[in-house]
Amino acid sequence: MSVLLAVLLAYTYSPGDSCWNLVTLGDIPERAILFAELAAKDGGRSTLDLASILEIAGRFTEAENCYSLALNSATDTLLSEWLANRISGSRTLDTLVVLSIVLHNMSDADATDISIEIPLPESHPPYQIIERLAGVFIADGNLMVHHIDLMPARTTIVLPMILHVIQQPYSFRPLRAHYPTLSGSVDLEEISSLIRAIPIPETETGPGPCLEIAYLLKDRAADIGFELQITGGLLRAGTDNLLFHAWNLIPGTGIPIDALLFHADSLRGIGHCPTDIIPLWSYEYTDGHEVSVFYPQQNINLDVSIQASFADPDFIAGFLNLFPKCMISDY
């Protein structure tokens, strides 16, 4: 009841209005009536349904308010975490992201002439701007590269890159408005059918199935004459955690298709761009790899990995003190 009262108070009807004026059903905003119907059902579950509907419709500020209302009364830990992610995904993101490429020489011999490649971070208009602020990598076509002449045996090198990400929550809905720009005669129902036919593992092992599923969807879409690309980025898990993720993109439109998410939430799986998903780059030029390392010596064992985190002021200050010449200004 308190939820319904809070929503109705947001409208311009006061107790005085109801006492002195005849208010008909037609005078009440339709969404207030719909919410009243929802609030009367499901023991509060409909607050979440309304928030989801608002989010999918691109009304992110209203969705955030509803999610926050639900979070205040949530008692389940998993539900609280999900609501916190939805609140984060409905807010504007303006932050610094640190990508750290970690290279280990596992051998007893020095490694020489090492080349490291990562995809080129790029903006995703109309909702995201990415600016490369600092790091040792340089742009080379669709890649970022760094060369190491000598790496001593049993040593570790960390190569950070700092990105400034400004992103607005965004929705491509109504999808039909964007569909005429798509290539071929395949419609979204056929794409949805392709996604539903892809088996999703019940348990995840290793780095996760997202990249494999994205490639599988790309291949199956190509079989019916529909082109898809593979893009990658980060998932915001909780307050501080960032996980690498991959999904498909319809070329020339910017419309994302996340087959893994689609199986759990079909509305968010296509054309939805909340800020708890941060696109970074295309995998079309790296065969799906976030980082690759090349070196000529066959007797050398190099281990490479990539990590992502939000930057804090102390890290930025320390980084610039150690690497004052790494500011990127000539890209």
Under 8 Å CB-to-CB from 20, ≥6 apart: which residues?
none
CATH number for 117: 2.60.40
Residue 327 within any structural domain of the chain: no
Q: Which tokens go with 154? A: 């049993």
Q: Are residues 163 and 209 in the same domain?
A: no
Torsion, Cα of 264, 270, 273, 279 (10° steps)? 90
Residue 304 within any structural domain of the chain: yes
Residue 328 within any structural domain of the chain: no
| Lowest-pLDDT range of 63-77, 172-186, 286-300 | 172-186
Mean pLDDT of 91-95: 96
Mean pLDDT of 156-160: 94
How much is the pLDDT for 270? 93
How much is the pLDDT for 30? 63
Which pLDDT band, with edges at 50, 70 and 90, does 324 fall under? Answer: low
Q: Are residues 195 and 270 in the same domain?
A: yes
Q: Are residues 194 and 110 in the same domain?
A: no
pLDDT digits over 296-310, tens only? 999 999 999 999 999
Residue 260 within any structural domain of the chain: yes
Q: Are residues 131 and 61 in the same domain?
A: no
- Helix, strand or coil, per DSSP, at residue 190: helix
Cα–Cα dist 117/120, whole Å: 9
Q: Which of 235, 250, 274 is the last residue of a domain?
A: 274
Q: Which of 66, 89, 112 is the last residue of a domain?
A: 89
Mean pLDDT of 63-79: 89
Nearest to 134 by CA among 94, 93, 97, 95: 97
Q: Are residues 102 and 193 in the same domain?
A: no
Residue ranges of alpha helices (H) inside the chain are 2-8, 15-20, 30-39, 45-56, 60-73, 77-89, 175-178, 188-196, 210-223, 259-264, 266-269, 313-322
How much is the pLDDT for 73? 82
How much is the pLDDT for 312? 76
Q: Are residues 148 and 190 in the same domain?
A: no
Residue 118 within any structural domain of the chain: yes
How much is the pLDDT for 255? 92
Mean pLDDT of 103-120: 97
Give the 3-state secondary structure of 11-53.
CCCCHHHHHHCCCCHHHCCHHHHHHHHHHCCHHHHHHHHHHHH
Residue 21: is it exposed, middle or buried by C-beta count within 10 angstroms (0-12/13-18/19+)? exposed
Range of the domain at 160: 93-167+286-322
Q: Are residues 66 and 14 in the same domain?
A: yes
Q: Is the pLDDT of residue 102 over 50?
A: yes
Q: Are residues 156 and 233 in the same domain?
A: no
- Helix, strand or coil, per DSSP, at residue 251: coil
Question: What single DSSP character describes residue 305?
Answer: E
Residue 281 within any structural domain of the chain: no
pLDDT digits over 5-40, tens only? 454 444 444 444 444 445 455 566 666 655 555 555
| Lowest-pLDDT range of 73-82, 95-104, 108-117 | 73-82
Q: Are residues 78 and 101 in the same domain?
A: no
How much is the pLDDT for 11? 44
How much is the pLDDT for 58? 93
Q: Are residues 129 and 105 in the same domain?
A: yes
| Lowest-pLDDT range of 62-66, 174-178, 313-317 | 313-317
Which pLDDT band, with edges at 50, 70 and 90, does 267 fall under? Answer: confident
How much is the pLDDT for 16? 42
Q: Are residues 187 and 200 in the same domain?
A: yes
- For the chain, the average pLDDT equals 83
Which pLDDT band, with edges at 50, 70 and 90, does 145 fall under? Answer: very high
Q: Are residues 182 and 251 in the same domain?
A: yes
Residue ranges of alpha helices (H) inside 40-174 are 45-56, 60-73, 77-89
On whether the CB atoms of residues 291 and 118 are closer than 8 A, the answer is yes
How much is the pLDDT for 49? 85
Total domain count, the chain: 3
Q: Which of 56, 89, 122 is the last residue of a domain?
A: 89
Residue 331 within any structural domain of the chain: no
Residue 29 within any structural domain of the chain: yes
Mean pLDDT of 56-76: 91
How much is the pLDDT for 48? 85
How much is the pLDDT for 235? 95
Mean pLDDT of 173-182: 67
